[in-house]
Structure 1
Amino acid sequence: MNETQMQHLSWSVNARGVAWIWLDLAEKSANTLSEPVFAEIETALDAIAATGAKGVVFASRKTAGFVAGADVEAFAALPDAAAARALVERGWRFMERLAAYPLPTVALIHGHCLGGGLELALACRARVAVSDRKTRLGLPEIMLGIYPGWGGMMRLPALIGPSKALPMMLTAKSVNAKRAKRIGLVDEAVPERVAALTAEALVLNPPKRKGLPLVERLWAGPLRALFVQQAEKRLRAKVRAEHYPAPYAVLRCWSQYRGNPLLIPAADPSSIEFLATHPTTKNLLRVYFLQERLKRFAKAQTAPITRVHVIGAGVMGSEIAMVCAASGLTVTLQDLSLEALARAQQAATRWFERRFRDDETALRAALDRFIPDPQGLGVAQADVIIEAVVEKLDVKQRLFAELEQRAKPDALLATNTSSLSLEAIAEGMAAPHRLVGIHFFNPVTKMPLVEVVQGAQSDAKAVERALVFVGKIDKLPLPVRSAPGFLVNAVLAPYLIAALKCVESGIAPEVVDAALEAFGMPMGPIELVDTVGLDVAILAGQQLVPDEPEPPRRLHQLVQEGKLGKKTGEGYYRWEKGKAVKRTVKPDEIPEGLAQRIIAPLVAATERCVAEGVVADTDLADAGVIFGTGFAPFRGGPLHWRNTQDTDKREKSTEMT
């Protein structure tokens, strides 16, 4: 049968009687779900039912993946809570209709299958996933301050059990194809070459569903209240309901409303209306669009990047190499010390084993791409060369003067320096325009942001290629201008100094940390200083907060005593088994306005970086501070938060007058 072409999809029925619906959203690189797409699928399903087809396979013609979720831009543009409810209701009706379709339905999944995309797959009778490293299935709505409103909260726990489903919904973590098969989320995980045949086989011979194990039936039934109580206890240890209401709403919706958000009254704090209008949702949507903007910096067309050479097998250099290898690049790691290379190889093996625990093929491939290179032979073949050696100007100058002689003429030369001037490093080079900064944050394996630094001498094309490279290793590239501390360290240093000065004034470290954690920071500033090292904090303060004549007395004293924080087992805190030993702080112990007082220097430094052109605008500054320091995402960034506070004050002042 000829293929019927519609605006966002096409469909046909083959000789075996299997109908294929190919999703292909017009003028977009990824499929998303919206009213026009729902309407076209429904029209196609009605037409297919009249053909006598034996069943339907949903697939995607987008190379990026199956379906990325709902149309976030359309959601962000909703005018009010009523419109949000109408959107959820439309999607819910569509998924219910798909689930009740009289013919067998199969979702053939490759690449991303997220949010509404996974809800569509869950509404099908069966699912097949392509077992490569790009395939990911998940429900990330929590990251936008909302929940899976099109049946995900109902169908996922029913399919795989609440003990596996609720963590996926509460953390937004996705799973790969093999993990999805193991937990029962997909029926088959197969190589791409047989995926279509497997999907058709499931249409023609639908799988018989096994019931959930007894323990999962108990969690979903008579022990549901206990399960939710335990889940909420774990949740409260991670996030506060007043900051992030959505995960608490997921628990309530599943436990009390059978996963159907349409049953929840509008006044309920777990309702569609409450979440859609909550400030956290607006700010998390802002963060989403900031993240998308950073990703776009990596979209330029440049020469292919397949090989990377990293110099320095310390913690930073080793993790840079690990991340590159995990992302599909061949990496040579150079160091004079064979012991350092051996430690790096061991660390890489442990990390790859955790990262690829469900994919032995991907694990072996990553290990093969991670190549210790004591002689630096990889320099000649590398597309990107990154140095992560000691922070000494003369060492780096000699290194790059040598590298530019040995590297390919078009190879990107990059420094990971956090404190030295790019212009000074480039002084000894014959072609200084080749040098850029690619500044990673510790730990490289976890921190999403990378600053791409343009020195006064850097060529714009080299900077562009560095941005593309950062995107290629699944990091967020932030373009910054060469200046002391760039953006992130320049704003972090005065924040930490302000916190240390509060301790100096007599406020307990635990109280300072509790105040900032209550504000929404992922870690208190005193614990952070202990984590990075007190000696490092002194050096950073001298370089980045020159107005401070000397470090706080207590900080200086601890360093003199050799108490450098986590790495020595004692600093402002005593450390046991990698954790700071702290006493519990009661809310009434925290002085009013303490968090705001400590945050104020960070906000001022962020504003100064924008004014001085270190970063292009306030939105990019907010993005850098959120993804580089962990600044409370639900507040939308330091400058956005400051502006919101100013607006609130003006509105209150107007009301009083």
Structure 2
Amino acid sequence: MNGIESPAVIGAGLMGKAIAKHQAEHGYQVLLIEIDPGQRETARRELKEFNVTVSSAYPELETRDFIIEAVFEDLNLKKEVLRKASSVARNETIIATNTSSLQVKDMIDEIANPSRFLGVHYNNPADFNPIVEIIETKYTDKALASRTEKWIASTGKHTVRCADTPCFVLNRQSLPFINEAARCLDIATAGQIDFVAKKKVGVALGPFEVMNMVGLNVIKAASRNLEVLGRGYASSRHLQEMNDDNWEIEEVKQVDKEITMLITRRLRGAMIFSGKDIIDRKLCNRNDLDMICKSALGYEKSSPEWLEILEPSVIKKLVDQFITSQ
């Protein structure tokens, strides 16, 4: 088997539908498995113009050569789904998890023949965001991982090899920034923080816009999972206590100068902290992190660039201020 010809996705939530859509747009007939009747019907309606078959029947996975789960970010749920998929899939079928914050190694026990299992993390929105993270375990067959990576690249994605650590690289870079934005609610409104982030920090979308787009439940779960990393990776109380589906982001045309400076320093510190940590721990190479920051996260300047531009004393001050704010 050289290429991948018959992909399947498990989970018809926001991410699963987008992955299925992306694969169908690149010429594949995609099977999308969803057990919830309401989500199944929504997926059929939204994907009716694409070559996607929506079903609840796991046995249909037997004919597929690539299966990726994209259910909610809950370890027990993902284990259950992977166990069911593995029980019906052919022995040579590639099985992947799209987890954004859990470790791939924690799901290995559910897979018969773990050499065909790996992490393939599409980033939100999956049909638009150009970055896909590839995560091997110690059991993953190297040739299989390379074949998967080549296939994903053939569908127009940029692949990045990442170590199997919580939140991999992209979310490890972005979540401290997002949580620090939420902590800034102590001094400003969501609209003011987004305004400063876009105008002064240099991001394409404000952090509250990003949270509303991705989904607060997804951001909350990933942020809690990231806390195992300790210092610098605390989740915001404001975020975790938010009960509404979306942040209310008011239109802002100007922000007080002193507040602007405070927000800018805190967000820049968060951006630099995680970038430095990723590079220091060699979780990916410098150029891949630069691409993630610019292509996936919409940063005008990447964290590696800021680390190269700023004096070490300035970097230390910004990072220390960020950690103190937690």
TM-score (norm 1): 0.44
Conserved 8 A contact 1:511-1:590: no
1:334 lines up with 2:30 in the alignment: no
Deviation at 1:628, TM superposition (A): 2.4
Measured after TM superposition, the shift of residue 548 of structure 1 is 6.7
Q: Partner of 1:84 in structure 2?
A: none
Cα deviations across residues 197-238 of structure 1 (Å, max 9, x unaligned)? xxxxxxxxxxxxxxxxxxxxxxxxxxxxxxxxxxxxxxxxxx
Alignment match, 2:9: 310
- Does residue 604 (structure 1) correspond to residue 311 (structure 2)? The answer is no
Tell me the residue number matched to 1:347: 46
What displacement does 1:464 show? 1.0
CA distance in 2, matches of 1:401, 1:551: 31
Residue aligning to 2:76: 394
The match for 2:306 is 641
Q: Which runs of 5+ in 2 are unaligned?
A: 315-326
What residue is the counterpart of 2:143 in the other structure? 461
* Local SS of the residue matching 1:581: coil
1:524 pairs with 2:223: no
- Summarize the Cα distance change of 1:328–1:335 in structure 2 as closer, same or farther, 3 Å threshold: same
Verify the 8 A CA contact 2:181 2:193 in the aligned structure 1: yes
Whole-Å separation in 2 of the counterparts to 1:599 and 1:419: 23
Question: Measured at CA, do residues 396 and 534 of structure 1 come closer, stay the same or move farther in structure 2, by a change above 3 Å?
Answer: closer
Matched, 1:421 2:98: no
Deviation at 1:396, TM superposition (A): 2.8
| Count of residues in correspondence between the two structures | 310
Assess if the C-alpha contact under 8 Å between 2:191 and 2:250 holds in 1: no
Conservation of the 8 A alpha-carbon contact between 1:311 and 1:317: yes
Instruction: Kindly state the Cα deviation for residue 588 of structure 1 after the two structures are TM-superposed.
Output: 4.2
Q: Tell me how far apart the structure 1 counterparts of residues 36 and 240 of structure 2 sit (CA, whole Å).
A: 32
Which one of the candidate residues 196, 207, 214 is aligned to 1:515? 196
Structure 1 residues 455-514: Cα deviation after superposition (integer angstroms, max 9, x where no partner) = 23322222212212211222211111110000011111111122222222x233333222
Instruction: After superposition, give the CA deviation of every residue in 1:35-62 in whole Å (9 maximum; x if it has no partner).
Output: xxxxxxxxxxxxxxxxxxxxxxxxxxxx
CA distance in 1, matches of 2:124, 2:208: 17
2:136 aligned with 1:471: no
How far apart, CA to CA, are the structure 1 residues paired with 2:238 and 2:77?
33
1:290-301 aligned at under 5 Å gives the runs none
Listed as ranges, the gaps of 5+ residues in structure 1 are: 1-301, 353-366, 566-570, 574-579, 650-657
What are the within-5 Å matches in structure 2 for residues 187-226 of structure 1?
none
In structure 1, C-alpha distance between the alignment counterparts of 2:3 and 2:52, rounded to whole Å: 19
- Is 2:164 the counterpart of 1:482? yes
Counterpart of 1:621 (choices 289, 298, 312) is 289
Cα deviation for residue 407 of structure 1 reads 2.2
Q: CA deviation at 1:401?
A: 3.5
How far off is 1:324 after superposition?
Answer: 0.6
Matched with 1:169 is none
Q: Which residue of 2 aligns with 1:151?
A: none
State which of 64, 72, 76 in structure 2 corresponds to 1:382: 64
What is the CA distance between 1:409 and its match in structure 2?
3.0
**1-structure distance, mates of 2:83, 2:217:** 31
Aligned to 1:544: 226
**What SS is found at the alignment partner of 1:490?**
helix
Q: Following the alignment from structure 1 to structure 2, what is the Cα–Cα distance between the partners of residues 373 and 386?
A: 15
Give runs of aligned pairs for residues 397-416 of structure 1, distance below 5 A: 397-416=79-98
Partner of 2:181: 499
The letter of the residue matching 2:307 is R
1:303 Cα deviation after fit: 0.7
How many Å separate the matches in 1 of 2:117 and 2:288? 23
Aligned residue for 1:442, secondary structure, equals: coil
Aligned to 2:319: none
Q: CA deviation at 1:643?
A: 0.5
Shift of 1:378: 3.7
Instruction: Out of 425-434 and 546-555, give the one that drifted further.
Output: 546-555
In 1, the alpha carbon distance for the partners of 2:68 and 2:309 equals: 40
- How many angstroms does 1:631 deviate by? 1.5
Shift of 1:411: 1.8
Does residue 430 (structure 1) correspond to residue 98 (structure 2)? The answer is: no
Offset of residue 630 of structure 1: 1.5
For the 8 Å contact 2:86–2:110, the answer to whether it is kept is no
Say if 1:618 and 1:337 are closer, same or farther in 2 by CA, change over 3 A.
Answer: same
Structure 1 pair 317/533, CA: closer, same or farther in 2 (3 Å)?
closer
TM-score (normalised: structure 2):
0.85
Q: CA, structure 1 residues 549+423, in 2 after alignment: closer, same or farther (shift >3 Å)?
A: closer
SS at match of 1:322: helix
Cα distance in 2 for partners of 1:501, 1:427 equals 38
Give the aligned partner of residue 298 of structure 2. Answer: 630
Please state whether the residue corresponding to 2:106 is helix, strand or coil: helix
Compute the RMSD of aligned alpha carbons: 2.6
Paired with 1:479 and 1:461, the residues of 2 have a C-alpha distance of: 14
Aligned to 2:321: none
Higher gyration radius (CA): 1
**Aligned partners of 2:116 and 2:144 also within 8 Å:** yes
Corresponding residue SS for 2:260 = coil
Q: Supply the distance in 2 between the matched residues of 1:502 and 1:398 (Cα, whole angstroms).
A: 38
Distance 1:452 1:490, change over 3 A: same
Rate the CA distance shift 1:527–1:402 in 2: closer, same or farther, 3 A. closer
Contact 1:423 1:457 in 2 (8 A): no
SS of aligned partner of 2:150: helix
